[in-house]
Structure 1
């Protein structure tokens, strides 16, 4: 066999080191570029303080204070004066209706009754005397009238006999009236005699007692208070003083949780029963009374306890929420310009993600298969229109109600004095369009489902919108989200946002 030339072998051996060196240089350059980009991204992300969009529950509650009391409290007084002879109940005594609580000395009224009976007997005797006089006057007049017809007596005698008859009749009527008068007076005394026995008007518990045996009760212009009876302490109420800024959120039927200092380790529950219109102003602070009904079947709660209550005005379950700091964040300086440019390049439409919110509302209605099919058809049409509108926004020529598949006139929102009215018009257009799109679906709902759907749709379309800044590739990117309930720490958000997104809450100070 022939051997390869020595020159060719030498060329191959000289090219190998160069090739390896080139590969090493490329690898080193790639690693350096990767390391530089990583450091750059870390530095960019490190320039912001961030938080994460979470899924959870939000409970919105209004705090107020009040006092526990019985639902019905009756004050027992005395309508007569006299000395108290007996007190048969004490504080905390359980009493039944018509049970005797106390007695007042009845001797005065008993004597008055005896006197009245004697006066009635005297009046009856006078009546009998008047009746006898009347009979005699009737006979006398009859005789003289007959004689007068025969011209045997003077006419004057007949007239006098008639006058005597009339007087006798009047005297009988007067005696009968006197008997009635004396009988009524005696009956009044009997009523007062019965009032010397103080009885309970209701079933309940004696809260207060202000009399002792031997004490004199003086009933003049008003009835003195002897006892206070709480009716049925198994049901109680709380009168809360709610600030005028919060009263608009309070509705009948809302749940209330409260604590009392006497049982600090327990939490009790009630329900809003009444929102009263009688406002009270104290030190220029206006409050409204809210009545809360409480079940006290175990008898733990006592009248008069001070209550620290929370009225649950809203509870949102399994929703997206974000820290309130993220909604307060506004980019500054160069970051503000870069964020606006990023948003314009992305072409994000305002108010996106409403289809997901509507799906969540529909899911809570427990729809039947045919109802779900009607909803899916309407939601698909809405998503197609939003996609077309987004494409127009990215092309730079469409507004929220531009000439896309959704139809309708073009609306341009200016930043002048009329922008609030224009935004109201846009919101009204959204409501009308959604009502049209989902009209077939709404027709399949029953009354309860339809009422809830309308309420949720109005709340969704009328929700306030706010900018949120997502951190994308180390840079904040503005998105418009709908803002819902807030508990003071976190706020419900919906729109072009999802669970796990990192949002900016602030900028770190440059070193």
Structure 2
């Protein structure tokens, strides 16, 4: 009884699946193919992906300092050459800073030259300066320590001698004046000698008092000034190594400040770093800009070298290699295709929704003026090509979820039987059959799939 029921079921399925026994392909009521023949042909195994065209080189050019925009020389879509000026800031203050830095550098050069020339002073000049310094030091020390006791005693004795000379002159005067034989002129001479003796005594007294009193404050100050002058003169003739090194470092510092001023002036001008096309201008004349405009003051791209990045899962990425040719189609240009190749494959995966994917960069081989950055593109990469292999449509293949085995419904005469097959390479629409089918076999597509509770294994 069971065998009879199964036969009725198979007949019913066959009736639904086959509209014309002699035809190679049966049609469903909706006009879709329901039965196809297994054939031999060429199988192209491809990996596909999509993305947007991007310029290989794109830079956001921005001023590195604040200022007022003085000139904007380009607009969106302009083609520019490397080194071409794109925009400028007001540079009047920067030019003054540069001139000031040049002046400071020249001053530093002169100071270093003076220090080096002084270091090469003649020995005779150095000896004279050293002697003058020693003399000034000795004079100051002598004033600070006071007179020598022997000099003071000599001064005292000179004072005593001078007083004795007064007494002797007075005695001679009195004797001459008291003699009736003395002439008036003799008396006058003796009186003059007394006055002279008194003057000499006063000079000796003052010298003695001076030695006893020591140096006056103004004398000490003058001696100190003379010493300082001698020290400065020697220092100018004999600078130490630190002085020369300090002036050398000051010269280097002035040179760096000049270079910084020159760089600031250069940075007030935006220059194209390569040949390209202006794709955005975010500044205007008179605008005050800071150091780094968000998105760039001017955006420049090299549109002659376009690429796109694909996201490929880990199953397919192992089939890809750098340099593989690819075919690129664009949504904006239906019916046209462009050639390219794989430029790079990411060495590490990116987690996307729990699945491991890899970034694959594809570069266009030829530059067509019609291509623009941002266009949506689809990529087909042929990873394998098999000639003269047995092919079955993917729509006819069913897999067991638990075991992973593959099956098809083969139509034989007025019967439909489920047959297990072994697949090889798989393409987008067809797969290679290694075992289970022969060329010319007819297989049913999904429209005639029987209920899974009545699966039939023929030939088992």
TM-score by length of 2: 0.58
Q: Does 1:237 align with 2:177?
A: no
SS in 1 for 2:297: strand
Q: 1:186: Cα distance to partner? A: 1.6
**Shift in Å at residue 272 of structure 1?**
2.2
Distance 1:465 1:320 in 2: 18
User: Structure 1, residues 175-201: CA drift from partner, whole Å, max 9, x if none?
Assistant: 343233223212221222223232111
Q: Does 1:301 align with 2:241?
A: no
After the TM superposition, which residues 19-418 of structure 1 pair with which residues of structure 2 at under 5 Å, given as runs? Answer: 46=14, 49=17, 51-127=36-112, 130=115, 139-143=124-128, 165-167=237-239, 170-219=242-291, 225-231=296-302, 233-324=303-394, 327-328=397-398
Structure 2, unaligned runs of 5 or more: 1-7, 18-34, 142-226, 455-460
Q: Distance in 1 between matches of 2:108 and 2:77?
A: 51
Q: 1:43: how far off?
A: 6.8
Instruction: Select between 241-250 and 191-200 the one with higher mean Cα deviation.
Output: 241-250
State the shift of 1:479 in Å: 7.6
For the 8 Å contact 2:339–2:366, the answer to whether it is kept is no
Q: State the Cα RMSD in Å.
A: 4.4
In structure 1, distance between residues paired with 2:449 and 2:237: 118
**Secondary structure of 2:318 counterpart:** helix
Contact 2:424-2:432 at 8 Å conserved across structures: yes
Report the CA distance between 1:98 and its aligned residue: 1.0
Contact 1:78 1:223 (C-alpha < 8 Å) held by counterparts = no
- In structure 1, distance between residues paired with 2:106 and 2:13: 111
Contact kept, 8 Å, 2:118 with 2:239, in 1: the verdict is no
Q: 1:329 and 1:165 mapped to 2: Cα distance?
A: 102
- Give the paired residue count: 331
Distance 1:119 1:47, change over 3 A: closer
* Shift, 1:111, TM fit: 0.5
Q: For residue 485 of structure 1, give the secondary structure of its aligned residue in structure 2.
A: strand
1:306 and 1:179 map into 2 onto residues whose CA distance is 59
- Cα 1:226–1:309 change in 2 (3 A) is same
User: Which whole-Å CA distance do the structure 1 matches of 2:301 and 2:374 have between them?
Assistant: 12
Structure 2 CA distance for partners of 1:181 and 1:496, relative to 1, 3 Å: closer
Q: Which has the higher contact order (CA 8 A, sep 6+)?
A: 2
Contact 2:339–2:364 at 8 Å: present in 1 too? yes
Q: Distance in 2 between matches of 1:303 and 1:94?
A: 15
Matched, 1:483 2:430: no
CA drift of 1:226 comes to 2.2
Measure, in 2, the Cα distance between the counterparts of 1:84 and 1:328: 68
CA distance in 1: counterparts of 2:450 and 2:116, whole angstroms: 116
Structure 1 pair 507–329 and aligned structure 2 pair: CA distance change class (3 A):
farther
Structure number, greater radius of gyration? 2
Shift of 1:480: 7.1
Is the contact between residue 54 and residue 322 of structure 1 (CA under 8 Å) also seen in structure 2?
A: yes
Whether the 8 Å contact between 1:44 and 1:475 is mirrored in structure 2 is no
Q: If the length of structure 1 is used for normalisation, what is the TM-score?
A: 0.53
> Counterpart of 1:108 in 2: which secondary structure?
helix
Alpha carbons of 1:66 and 1:123: their partners in 2 closer, same or farther (altered >3 Å)? Answer: same
- Please state whether the residue corresponding to 2:249 is helix, strand or coil: helix
- In the alignment, is the contact (CA less than 8 A) between 2:37 and 2:441 conserved in 1? yes
8 Å contact 1:60–1:313 — kept in the other structure?
yes
- What 5-or-longer segments of structure 1 have no aligned partner? 1-39, 331-419, 421-463
SS at match of 1:318: strand
What is the rounded CA distance, in whole Å, between the counterparts of 1:497 and 1:136 in structure 2?
109
Question: Structure 1 residues 162, 138: CA separation in 2 closer, same or farther (over 3 Å shift)?
Answer: farther
Aligned to 2:183: none
Alpha-carbon separation, structure 2, partners of 1:43 and 1:132: 119
Local SS of the residue matching 1:206: strand
Partners of 2:14 and 2:416 within 8 A in 1: no
